[in-house]
Structure 1
Amino acid sequence: MSNVTPAQRLLVVAIVLLIVGLGIGYGVGIASAPTKVITTTTTVTAPGAVTTVTRTTTVTQTVTTTVTATPVVPVGLSGPILIGGLWPLTGELSSFGEENKVAFELAIKEVNEWLKSMGKPWYLVPVIEDSATDPKTALDKVRIMHGRGVKVIVGPMASAEIREIKSYVDANKILVISPSSTSPALAIPGDYVLRYCPDDTIQGPAIARVMFDSGVRYVVPIWRGDAWGDGLKDATVKAFTNILKKEGVEGGVVEGIRFEPGAKEFSVEVAKLVTIVDDLVGKYGLDKVGVLLISFEEVVPLFVAAGKYDILGKVKWFGSDGTAQNALLVSTKESAAFSVKTKFVSTIAAPSYSSKLEHVKQYVVKTLGRTPAPYAYNTYDAVWTVAIALNILDEYDATKIRDILPTVIENYFGASGWFKLNEAGDRAFSDYELWAILEKDGKYEWVLVGVWKGAADEIEWKIPLYK
């Protein structure tokens, strides 16, 4: 007879069927072992008996073995994926902020159309905040975004803002991609800040070459006193000094004037500048003296103030990416006129011209009525490369996105062209465009007048300004 009762057999069958039912689609395996025959021997000795009786009983037993694989839990992106856009919609970079916001929104719209065409269950949702071109405000807005679940932020634009938020984003593993922060002090490998623009160790030599080729040998710097301004001033001074040594000519850079970020009035600084320039001109002549201005939209009130002094309008002035293609500068008559008079040339990292760039450019022109500065193309590319990384990873993880982006970027040709990141996570190389304001038919407009070729340290002039 069997040791397993009919009731017990029914229970085992029920459990096995339950496991099979629960395991549909999860790779559950059921295996039944062959029937086993178990023989037991019982020896009975009757009290006082002289014989022993041995009785053998055979029991047939079926043993069932169940093997259950661990269920695979479905993973992957679905629903809204928040992506931050932190732009200086007010403050000294507001015109740049407007352009980058438009490019940001365009990229998200197109990414979502792409995802929908593939039947993807997820889509990007923008979370846009105004940094006000202010470091403290930028940090407050990053905290707000973090609280909402944002793990990737495109922006902010100013290096001072990046420096302020850096500790927070590193500690909380929030990936930040700036289209325009260029301070060499922020070129740090392994952090959570990527920059789709080159740092100012490349822009400095470009400005220095423009100044030298213009015939200037003595430079007076006046600059915005923050992480960006200090870094770019130092890089430019170093590069200009190196050119002087290499060419074996006399010249130099005086101490200059450092002003506070956010300054609105420059009568004191301009009066001091007049004294310095007048002294240098008296020693070396008008053609040998130039002013290096490193600023954001402070350029407008500063130029208005400088225009009141004849001597400042007779020497050459030079700018940077902080002023190149600035909408407020060209739309303010007094500052635009001073720019033309002083042949004010500003440098900015050069994108690669293509149909993709033209597509973004025309969208911004249609939306804002003006051609954007090249940083808008970097913003467009930032959104697209993040989206491609997300599609590959199928996971919203800032660290994994950061780690895969260099490979994505090297295999991507975007609105800003083809590029790669260096070990610090910054754009590894770039030529620089030279922009100046010219007057045409009584109207002022930004015009591309040349390109600095970094590999050769040479300028290709489209419109020779310094004949």
Structure 2
Amino acid sequence: MKRFTSSPLQPTPLQPGKAVILATLAMAAGFFAAACQETTPPQPGSSPATGGTGGLKIGSLLPATGDLASIGQPMLDAVPLLVETVNQCGGVNGAPVTLVPNADDQTSPEAGLEAMTRLAEVERVAGVVGSFASSVSTAAIPVAVRNRVMLISPGSTSPVFTERAKKGEFQGYWARTAPPDTYQAQALAKLAKEKGATKASTIVINNDYGVGFEREFVQAFQKAGGTITNANRPTRYDPKATTFDTEVQAAFSGNPDAVAAVLYAETGSLLLKSAFEQGLSKGVQILLTDGVYSPDFPEQVGKTADGKFILVGAMGTVPGADGKALEALKKLWQEKKGRPISAYVPHSWDAAALLVLAAEAAKVNTGEGISSKIRDVANAPGTEVTDVCEALKLIRSGQEINYQGASGNVDIDENGDVVGSYDVWQVTDDGKLEVIGKVSPQ
């Protein structure tokens, strides 16, 4: 469905002193508005609050600090690299793209809400790449919808977003380049069965990501004939907790063959170390997910008295990147960053790419324009194209495109979801994370 927008409001240039004062007042007003009308959708025919006829302005809302910082930090480099690439080939709608410095969400819904409000109501961006944590995206979405900012997450995988999108809550201002955990949970359950597990338990972080994943994993494992030992009393831990003795005792009771642990890195490392120190994890297959897929994680969990990594043999799943643009991005990443590409970098690149391509297709640098064209540039019909500069060139010439990303084909459905494949990884004897295969949802 195409949208028609009214002319956007143009900001009046301010004197430096007044700009600071008014920016502060704007942020305060934003928080007041968020409290009073958090779920109020934009009114048809009203002027969009963000963007305009000037150059496209976007931002990112990713975790530079907090529980997901070890995974989030490499993602931070993907967005400016995309913007640099686009500006070298002419920008968007005849002008360079402006990237607001990353708004660190600190892996915290409260910090994420504050940062998203600043991006939307002070910086007045048209689109945002973010967030990573599902709990942060949950906090940020109402701000995006209210201000007509297109929010594309490279990693918020909770199934809750699909359910809310089906109810029309997001008004088209939400999408993601990583598939929902509906699929990853099925893939992890399939992996558990392939490894011979007949009884499994779950222990998850108590937020949208953990609880949503838990629900889908339990259903998939039971459907495959397995037994969940703690199905009647799921084990969930407080994201702000610092000790986990009680939780690990509950999760590992009942003699499970495998424990599906849906964690974030900082708290998850403490939890798994506690399970080892209590002697609970011996002989149990530990199954992990993307929330701890960081090269630092085995070191965070620690080593045994004889110097071996506690996590040796632990396995997990992570959304894989198998798009047609992946090899080119790997080459560019190595050239610019001097290191191999890491998890979720392709998804972050694609999220930023979709923002700029949709703005060019809409011929207007607003969130409303981006929202109206996001599926047009991501899906068929159209010329399949992997290079973002070539894609912009085709759009400018009046052609339809079907962007083929680095993370995958990024075909976005009516709920803002994509379907992906999953890499299977394992912790090796030397504490490395090695991809050993792939698994698809059942």
Quick check: 1:338 aligned with 2:319? no
Q: Are 1:436 and 2:408 matched, yes or no?
A: no
Q: 2:132 matched to 1:164?
A: no
Q: Pick one of 377, 399, 403 that aligns with 1:412.
A: 403
Q: Which residue of 1 aligns with 2:432?
A: 445
Q: Which residue of 2 aligns with 1:210?
A: 191
Match in the other structure for 1:37? none
1:385 counterpart residue number: 354
Larger strand fraction of residues: 1
How far does the alpha carbon of each residue in 1:371-410 deviate from its partner, in whole angstroms, 9 at most, with x for none?
A: 411x211110111222122222221121221121111012
Query: Which shows bigger deviation, 381-390 or 355-364?
Result: 355-364
Change (3 A) 1:301 1:333: closer
SS in 2 for 1:222: strand
Indicate the residue corresponding to 2:247 in structure 1: 269
Q: In the TM superposition, what is the alpha-carbon distance from 1:113 to its structure 2 partner?
A: 0.7
Count of residue pairs the alignment pairs up: 356
Contact 2:54 2:365 in 1 (8 A): no
| Alignment match, 1:132 | 106
Structure of greater Rg: 1
Q: 1:346-387 CA deviation, whole Å, 9 max, x = no partner?
A: 1112221556345347626963845411x2111101112221
- For the pair 1:227 / 2:208, whether they are aligned, the reply is yes
Deviations 1:33-62 (A, max 9, x none): xxxxxxxxxxxxxxxxxxxxxxxxxxxxxx
User: What is aligned with 2:71?
Assistant: 96
Once the two structures are superposed, the pairs formed by residues 389-408 of structure 1 within 5 Å of their partners are: 389-408=358-377
Distance 1:256 1:399 in 2: 41
Identity %: 23
User: C-alpha distance in 1, partners of 2:240/2:365?
Assistant: 37
- Write the letter of the residue equivalent to 1:239: A
Moved more, 225-234 or 143-152: 143-152
Match of 1:113 in 2: 88
Q: How does 1:337-376 map to 2 (within 5 A)?
A: 337-340=309-312, 343-352=313-322, 354=324, 356-357=326-327, 359-360=329-330, 363=333, 367=337, 369=339, 371-373=341-343, 375-376=344-345
Give the corresponding residue for 1:236.
217
Deviation at 1:271, TM superposition (A): 3.8
Question: Higher relative contact order at CA 8 Å, sep ≥6: structure 1 or structure 2?
Answer: 2
Alignment of 1:454-465 (within 5 A): 454=441, 457=442
Q: 1:144 aligns with which of 115, 118, 121?
A: 118
- In structure 2, do the counterparts of structure 1 residues 354 and 408 end up closer, same or farther at CA, with 3 Å as the change threshold? closer
3-state SS of the aligned residue for 2:56? Answer: strand
8 Å Cα contact 1:78/1:121 also seen in 2? no
The one-character-per-residue Cα deviations of 1:175-213 (angstroms, maximum 9, x if unpaired) are 111011111111114522111111111111101111111
From 316, 320, 324, the equivalent of 2:285 is: 316
Go from structure 1 to structure 2 and tell me whether the alpha carbon gap of 1:365 and 1:304 turns closer, same or farther (over 3 Å shift).
farther
> Where does the alignment leave 5 or more consecutive residues of structure 2 unmatched?
1-50, 380-401
In the aligned structure 2, how far is the partner of 1:237 from the partner of 1:224?
15
CA contact (8 A) 2:60 2:101 kept: yes
What per-residue deviation string (whole Å, max 9, x for no partner) do you get for residues 397-456 of structure 1?
Answer: 2122112111101201121131311111111x22211111112xxx321111121133xx
8 A contact 1:201–1:235 mirrored in 2: yes
Distance in 2 (alpha carbons) for counterparts of 1:119 and 1:299: 45
CA distance 1:423–1:437, change in 2 (3 Å) = same
Q: Secondary structure at the match of 2:309?
A: helix
Match of 1:193 among 154, 165, 174: 174
**Aligned match of 1:303:** 272
> In 1, Cα distance between the equivalents of 2:117 and 2:222?
42
Aligned-pair Cα RMSD in Å: 2.4
Secondary structure of the corresponding residue to residue 137 of structure 2? helix
* Structure 1: gaps of 5 or more residues: 1-75, 245-249, 282-287, 458-467
- TM normalised by structure 1 equals 0.71
* Greater alpha carbon shift after TM alignment, 207-216 vs 362-371: 362-371
